[in-house]
Each structure stands twice: as C-alpha cells, then as structure tokens.
Chains A and B, each alone.
Chain A
C-alpha cells in the first residue's frame, strides 16, 4: 500500500526537482566566471571609466564628458560615419545578392560543384590584411594589374584608392570579394535544408525555374538570409582591417570609417578620447543591430 501511494507522488516530483537544479555544484561556474570577469567585465567597466578621463597610459585625470564632446566635435567624424554606413549597407547588400546567386548556382547540378564551392570559399580563409595588401598592389594607379589591363583595352583606369571619391567603394568591393564566400556557404546550408518535396510538387504544378526560386527558395531560405544580413551588416559597421591595410583612411580622410578614426586617435596618444569613441561605436552598433535583428526575426515568426 505504502509503496503504491508514495511512488506516484515521488516519481513526478523527482524529475521536476532534477530539471530545476543542475547536477553540478554552482562553484563549477567559478573558473569560467573568473575568466569572463577578468577578460570581459572588468575591461568593459574600466573602459567606461577611462572614457571619462584624460588618459596618457601613465596617469589619468577625470574630465567628465569632455571626451564625448571632443569626439563629436571631431571635424572628420561626419565623413567617418557616412563612410561607415555606406560601407555597411553596400557590402551587406552585395553579399546577399552575390551570395544567394552563387548559392543557387552551387546547389544546382553543375560540373565540378565541389571544386567551385571551395574556390568561392577560399578568400574567407586568407588573412584580411593579406587580401588588402594584394589588392592595393593590383589597384596601383600606374603599375597595378587592373589599370594595366584596362590600359590594354585603351581605357585609362582611375586611381582606385587614390581618388578620394572612389576609395571607399574600392575597399567595399574588396570586402565583398573577401566575404561573399561565407555568405554563400550560409545560403547553401539554407537552400539544402529546404525539403525536396516542395520542388517536386511545384514541378508537377508546372512552375518555372524562376517561379520555384521566387516562391520556394527565397522565402524558405529566410533564416539563412537573416543570418547573412546581420553578420555582414555588423561586420561592415565595425570594419577596420581592410580599410587600414588598403588606404589608412586616406587619401586624407576620404575613406575613414568610425573604427579608423578611433584607431588614429589611439595612435596619437589620446587614449581617453579613443576609449570614448569605442563606447560610442559600441552603442551605435547595438542601436542599429538590435532593432534589425528583432525586426527580421519577428517576420520569420509570422511565416
């Protein structure tokens, strides 16, 4: 009797209890918490403090919000912000278009598909700075291979990186070349996971290839699209390596982005000011990326 009574009570109680608490003691979290605290939390709060000081690395004096005032008064900040947004939007859009196109191509029945997939992905594996230096040489106004090739066709190529109104677009183009492989791989994963049944059903109904793309591939690869848009947009906003390797923000300030403005302030020894710039950059990226993420994911939920 007692056993039959006690078991129905005890059995459901046990898993409920077990689900709530981990089998491991809480102090198992301690090593990770210490590492996270030392490497992330403390620097984050220290940077918030130092952004309010005039800091020479050797000593600092508290100056309130003066750094933020100075940062927003920076004469080249507007140019940097505009360039950052141009760069992020342009690279993001082109990566989606080319990435999706390549993914559709590379999931179709073509020859040497495996090889082509590798070729598209290769640039992602190469160091960004290496890519930047290689393209800088190719984009040299007189000796570069691009203008030499155009010269053979009788076209006088522009100074890709030395023309102030062209430089940021040249860098964006290289970023697309470098990053489109990753976008393609994400799109391929998205397209491959679409059940073949939909395509068969559509084929039976007489849908054309274009219709299958627009009504099946495009909507059903939305999760992949969201990932690509978010990743490449954030990457574009905080882009630095490629700009620095190719133009150092030049000529003059023509291809400066936010991150290179901040880095130059850091190089000049204005440590407090550049820390304030980083706080601004962090807030700016969060302010753009979080709503974008929420918007794109909400739509996905309605599908």
Chain B
C-alpha cells in the first residue's frame, strides 16, 4: 500500500493523499503487503500457496501476493532484469549454486548471515547460497537426487533387478524393448531434460577423479580430455544408437515424459527427483508405480547418487519491508515450513532444515532415494554446486548427441569451448 500510494500523494496533492490514508487508517494501515516471485511449475505454485497460507494464518498483519514467472533461461532473464532495474519483488525464489553467483549477490541481495534462523539451516545447503563469505538464502523443498526414475510395474512384470552397472542397465533396456515397452524416455522439446545422463553421472566422475571440480574451475580439467567425464556423453549416444528411445523423443515434452513413465508406457526416465512432486500433482494415482535409482557407473562396487540442492528464497536490497520479508524466511526455514511443504506436495527427499523429519509414508521413489543419503559416501553434489562454471549450451549439445546428430567427443569439446565464455563473464582466474 505505502509504495503504490507514494506517487499519488505527490501528484494528486495532499487532499487525495489524506483521503487515501484516512480511508485505510483504521483497517489497512497495520497490514504490510509483500510480493513474492516464484517459477510457474505446478509443484512450486502448490507448495508456495500452502506456505503463504500457513504464514498468513500466523501473521494476520502481513499479506503476501504471489507472482509467477517462467522457468529455465527465460526465468533467469526475468530475475536478472528485475534485479538490475530495481523492480524485484520483496522476496523471490531462485536456484542455489552456480546460477546464484550470476546475480552478483553482494550487490543485489540482503545478506542473512546475522539472522538467527540460519542456525537451523544445514551447512551442506548454506555453502551453496554463500558468496563472498555471506549467506543469502533459505532452502525451499528438499535435497534432490539426479538419476533414473523407473516404472516399478514394468520391473515387476519382467522380473528385473535394479542395475548396479551401466552394462546391467543396458541389459535391462534390451529386455524391456523386447517386451514392447519404451526402455528410455527422452523429451527434447524441453531441451533441459536432455542433460541428465551427463549431469547425473557426476558421482561416478568424482569417484574416479576426486579433484575434478577444483581443476575444472581452475581451467585444468576438461570434459573432452577426461575419460570419466566423457562417459556421460557416451551413455547418451549408446542409448540412441541402440534405438531405446521413444519414437517421438524429439518432440515430446517433460510433461509427456512424466505421463509415459507413470502410466507405464516407458520404463526409465533420467530425471531429477523433483519430478516426484510433479507426478504427485498431475498423476497422483500412479505415484506408487514410480521408483528411483542412481545412475550406475562401470564398477558395481562404486554406486552412489549425484545430488542437487533445492531452490532458495532471497530478499533483494530494494525491498521496503525487510523485517516482514525476514519473518517469512524465518517461517520457511522452520519445522512448520517443512510441514506445509509436505502437506502440499508430499515429501520428496530429506529436508535441509534442522528438526524436519519425513512422514512415515513417503512416495516409493522418495523411499528409494533416502538410503543413499543415510550411508556415508554414497552421495556427491552435482558439478554446479562445486564449481561456478556451467556453460549455457549443454542442453543443445546433449540434444544433438541424443538425436545422433553429433558424436559425444565433439559435443564434449564444444561444451568445453562454451564454458570458457561463462568463466570469463564471471571473471574467474586462469581463463
């Protein structure tokens, strides 16, 4: 209210201003209106609405209005442009990890380092929203895994076992193809979905080259020259060459992929586990048909999960209500906040806030993922949380490899070239 009335008071004269203030004085003057920008995916909208409703019930004097934006590159643009022009909402949701660094957090965001609620946020998450020694965000939702979502009904029908090596995975695919199902679902209309075989292989890369991330940031390690890192690109090409993809892989969308997986048209869908929430939102009756396993590597002894950190809520420096915005962040990073999320979209993984436990009845795919987190050494963060260097054309290159247009070696070399500009843009040393 205060912000929108300000120009009216100036332009319309004191009379109008006083009228407006007089009218609002009794009821609305104590109410603070906050705006909150989130992405428009079904599960984000559902859980944010629940968070806001629960928060408003506890804080009747704060009113939060939700705005949505597209995801992906278009969303990145909207966030950057609004931050740079000072038009950002009071609170906004955005990725943690390498994408956050591109927002120049020290110039644009309010640091949370002194806020008491940060004590409840797990250190493993804090490190992904830290820039220049200050922490900027609190997690929304749970930690995620990148790997293979699979259809349990097909596995049961064909009596298949969870593959512990890539060769076993390909053998399963052969059996599935014979039975007339689609072995691997690929959805290149939404290009970002094509990157999973490469990105989710990072646990296996780190197992062979533990210092890959540091050397990668320092311009020493390259995808094209590291055998372990190349493997992900090669896997994608193998799946294409074997003809294991759905016929319309070039035109199918992410939503098509979720439908094919949960209704049993296809057996495997390489994806992040946030898809579990999306399946719960759109195909709740098929939720129990979906399971999950980590992307297998070459050695059956080394089997672990590449993990992703969830998006976080940030407060821009331009907000006129920093205290109320902090109150909302405080609520989100609390047990009540976790419960609101669980109520809206179910539990999709381990929470990153102290004291947040999972309910006993989690979806099957979540239950498949939790053991990786419980055992030491069976998880590794994805590269984008260990290095700020992530090139923008990876998704086009993986579409090319997965469509058989380009060889994995060529694609990896082109990706290395692409990454160089990103590193220069960030002003990293050694590029």
Chain A interfacial positions (CB closer than 8 Å to B): 54, 56-59, 70, 75, 136, 140-143, 159, 161-164, 248-254, 264, 266-270, 273
Contact = CB atoms under 8 A, between A and B. Distances in A.
Given A252-B396, A252-B403, A269-B392, 6 more contacts: A59-B104, A159-B250, A159-B251, A249-B396, A267-B74, A269-B80
Given A267-B73, A268-B392, A252 B417 contact: no
B424 interface: yes
Contact of B405 (A70, A140, A252, A268): A252
B215 interface: no
B248 interface: yes
A163 B403 CA distance: 9
Contact of B76 (A54, A75, A161, A267): A267
Contacts of B396: 249-250, 252-253
Contacts of A254: 405
Contacts of B417: 75
B248 A142 contact: yes
Interface centre among A54, A58, A70, A161 (most CB of B within 10 A): A58
A252 B421 contact: no
Given A75-B417, A267-B77, A268-B73, A142 B247 contact: yes
A250 B104 contact: no
Contacts of B73: 264, 267-268
A252 B405 CA distance: 8
Interface string B393-431: 100110110010110000000100100011011010000
Interface in B217-231: none
Given A164-B403, A251-B250, A266-B77, A56 B425 contact: yes
A251 B425 CA distance: 27
Contact of B397 (A56, A141, A249, A252): A252
Contacts of A268: 73, 392-393, 422
Nearest to A264: B392
A162 B406 CA distance: 14
A83 B108 CA distance: 39
A112 to B, nearest CB: 37
Contacts, number: 89
B42 interface: no
A59 B427 CA distance: 12
Given A250-B188, A267-B76, A161 B425 contact: no
Given A58-B84, A267-B74, A267-B76, A140 B400 contact: no
Contacts of A251: 188, 250, 399-400, 403, 405
B206 to A, nearest CB: 26
Nearest to A66: B424
Nearest to A269: B102
13 contacts: A56-B102, A57-B81, A58-B103, A59-B107, A141-B247, A143-B248, A161-B250, A251-B188, A252-B406, A264-B73, A267-B76, A268-B73, A268-B393
A249 B403 CA distance: 14
A249 B249 CA distance: 16
Nearest to A63: B424
A153 B45 CA distance: 45
A142 B256 CA distance: 13
B366 interface: no
B400 A162 contact: no
Contacts of B247: 141-142
B191 interface: yes
B354 to A, nearest CB: 33
The 7 closest A-B pairs by CB, nearest first: A162-B250, A268-B392, A252-B400, A267-B73, A57-B84, A58-B104, A142-B248
Given A140-B251, A254-B405, A273-B421, A56 B104 contact: yes
B314 to A, nearest CB: 15
B108 A58 contact: yes
Contacts of A142: 247-248, 251
